[in-house]
Amino acid sequence: MSNPPRRQLGTTGVEIAPIGLGCMGMSDFYGEADDARSTALLHHALDAGVNFFDTADMYGPWTNERLVGAALRARRDEAVIATKFGVVRGEDGGFQGINGKPEYVRAACDGSLERLGVDTIDLYYQHRVDPNTPIEETVGAMAELVKAGKVRFLGLSEATPDQIRRAHAVHPISALQTEFSLWSREPEEELLGTCRELGITFVAYSPLGRGFLTGAIRSPEDFAPDDFRRHNPRFQGENFQKNLDLVDAVRTLAEKKGVTAAQLALAWLLSRGQHVVTIPGTTKVSRFDENQAANDVTLSDAELAFLDEHLPVGAAAGTRY
C-alpha cells in the first residue's frame, strides 16, 4: 500500500490506520505464544502502512509490551504505540483488581516505558476505571506524565459518558477504547455521540466478536483447551447456537457481496463515523491482510438496513464477560 487510509487520533493532528493491530493475543488468552511469528507479523504490518499498535502491561502479564517494543524499535517513527495500565496482575498471572491511584499510575508508566524500550508512549490508556479512586485524580496523574514527556496522549477504556466528561475536563482525552462490534452494539446508544462531541477517537476492540463474527467458529470444540473463550457466557450452551444464527446472517450478506464475514464486520464498524477506528487482533499474516482489505469495502443503505434488522442492539445472547 503506497497511501494507506488514515483517520485522526482525537484532535491531536496525528493520523492513524483505521484498522490497527491489537497485540494481546500474541502473548495471552488465546493459546500458545509464538514470538518469532508475531514479530514477523508486526514488521509486515509496518510494511503494509499500518501504524497503530495496541498493547497493555497486563497482557502476558508484562511480556506483550516487550514483544511489541522490540519488534517496533528499529522503526519507532513509523509506529503509534498505545499501552494501558490499571488492571493489576501478580507474578502468577492472577488478577488483583483495578488501581487508578496516582502513585500507581506513575510506577506503571515507568514500567511500561522500560519494557517497551521507548522514551515516550504515544497513547496511554487507563485500562479500567478504578471505582475507588476519583477519575480526576487518575487523569491528573496521567496529565503529569504528559508534562514530563513520558506520554503524548491520554485514553480511557470501558468508561461511561459521565466518566469521560469528567476526565476530559482535567486533560484532553484523545481516545476511548471499548468493545464494539455487530454483536456488541451498546456503544451506539450514547458513547459514540459523546466521543464525537468531544473530539475523541472511538477505538473498537474485539471488533470480530472475539473471532465469532468471522464464521470460522462453529462449535465450542474449535477452541484450544487454554482459550478463555471456552468459559465466556456467549460461547456456552444455547447462547452458542443463538449467536451462531446471528453470524449466519452476516455470512449470508458477505457471500452475496463477495467479501468475507470479517471484512463485512470491520467495514460496518468503520461506517459508524469518521471518529471510529478498530484494532482486530491476529497472529496470522493472512488474517491481517484479510482484515486490512476491509478498508476498501463500502456498505449500501440497504446492506446497513439488513444488518440493523438481523443484528440489532442487544441481539447477542449472553453477557460479554
What are the tens digits of pLDDT across the range 58-76? 999 999 999 999 999 999 9
What kind and span of H or E run contains 238? helix 237-257
pLDDT (mean) for 291-313: 97
pLDDT at residue 2 in the model: 52
Q: Which of 25-34, 145-154, 211-220 has the highest mean pLDDT?
A: 145-154
216 or 199, greater pLDDT: 199
Q: Residue 214, class by beta-carbon neighbours within 10 Å (0-12 exposed, 13-18 middle, 19+ buried)?
A: buried
Residues catalogued as catalytic: 59
Give per-residue pLDDT as tens, 237-287.
Answer: 899 888 988 899 999 999 999 999 999 999 999 999 999 999 999 999 999
pLDDT confidence band for 4 (50 / 70 / 90): confident
Q: Does position 1 have pLDDT exceeding 50, yes or no? A: no
Q: How far apart are CA 6 and CA 9, in angstroms?
A: 9
Domain boundary assignment for the chain: 7-218+271-294
| pLDDT tens readout for residues 109-134 | 999 999 999 999 999 999 999 999 99
pLDDT at 30: 82
Which of residues 320 and 56 earns the better pLDDT score?
Answer: 56
What pLDDT is recorded for position 210?
87
Q: Which residues pair with 204 in a beta bridge?
A: 178, 278
Provide the CATH number for the domain formed by 7-218+271-294 in this structure: 3.20.20.100
**Within its chain, how far is the Cα of 272 from the centroid?**
16
- Residue 309, number of CB atoms within 10 A of its CB: 9
All three cell numbers of 176, joined, read 476511548
Of 78, 126, 294, 275, nearest to 207 by C-alpha is 294
Model pLDDT, residue 64: 97
Q: In this model, does residue 176 exceed pLDDT 70?
A: yes
pLDDT tens digits for 181-195?
998 999 999 999 999
Angstrom distances, CA of residue 307 to CA of 116, 186, 258: 40, 15, 16
pLDDT the model gives residue 241: 87
pLDDT-derived band of residue 3, with 50, 70 and 90 as boundaries?
A: confident
Of the candidates 255, 221, 203, the one whose C-alpha atom is nearest the C-alpha of residue 247 is: 255
Does 52 or 29 have the greater pLDDT score?
A: 52
Share of the chain above pLDDT 70, in %: 99
For the chain, the average pLDDT equals 95
Residue with cell 494507506: 4
